[in-house]
Amino acid sequence: MPAREAARKLNESCRTWREQFPDLTSCPARDVMDYIGAKWSTLVLITLAQRSRRFGELKREIPEISQRVLTQTLRDLEQDGLISRTVFPTKPPSVEYSLTKLGTSLLIPLWELVSWANENHDKIRRARKRFKAAGK
């Protein structure tokens, strides 16, 4: 799709939101942006992309995240139906997280975004340098 068409469609959508959701916070797009923006959600989704994992596995694969925040992130994603949580009554109990169909379908637009990031990161970095060099 050409950028021009994307622009037009976005504008149309945006106008619709305005009428449909006078309170912008209830706009559907906001919800999704929140995942994407949340510091760790996407990384968790990607980590779960190929196979389900247990809590400890996730923690080990993403050591930078704190336990508390991992728990919260998982709860949030579960709440919105992007991942599912299965408790096995072993001893001690083990809990497995996996992507739902909905969560998996999010990977497609997510991938588009990540591709864009990779392709354009150089330009962004250069723009930043120029900006700084201009004394701003």
Partner DNA sequence: CGGGATCCCTGCCGATACTG
Partner DNA sequence: CAGTATCGGCAGGGATCCCG
Three-state DSSP class for residue 112? helix
Q: Does 16 bind DNA (CB under 7 A)?
A: no
**Cβ at position 9, least distance to DNA in Å:** 25
Residues of span 23-52 touching DNA by CB under 7 A: 38-40
Residues of span 64-93 touching a second copy by CB under 8 A: 64, 75, 78-81
- By rule CB under 7 A, what count of residues binds DNA? 21
Out of DNA, a second copy, none, what residue 74 binds, judged by CB under 5 to 8 A for its kind, is DNA
DSSP assignment letter at 134: T
- The whole-angstrom separation of Cα 111 and Cα 68 is 27
Tell whether the torsion through CA atoms of 33, 34, 40 and 43 is positive or negative.
negative
Per CB under 8 A, the list member of 93, 118, 133, 135 interacting with a second copy is: 118
Inter-helix orientation angle 28-37/101-133, to 10°: 70
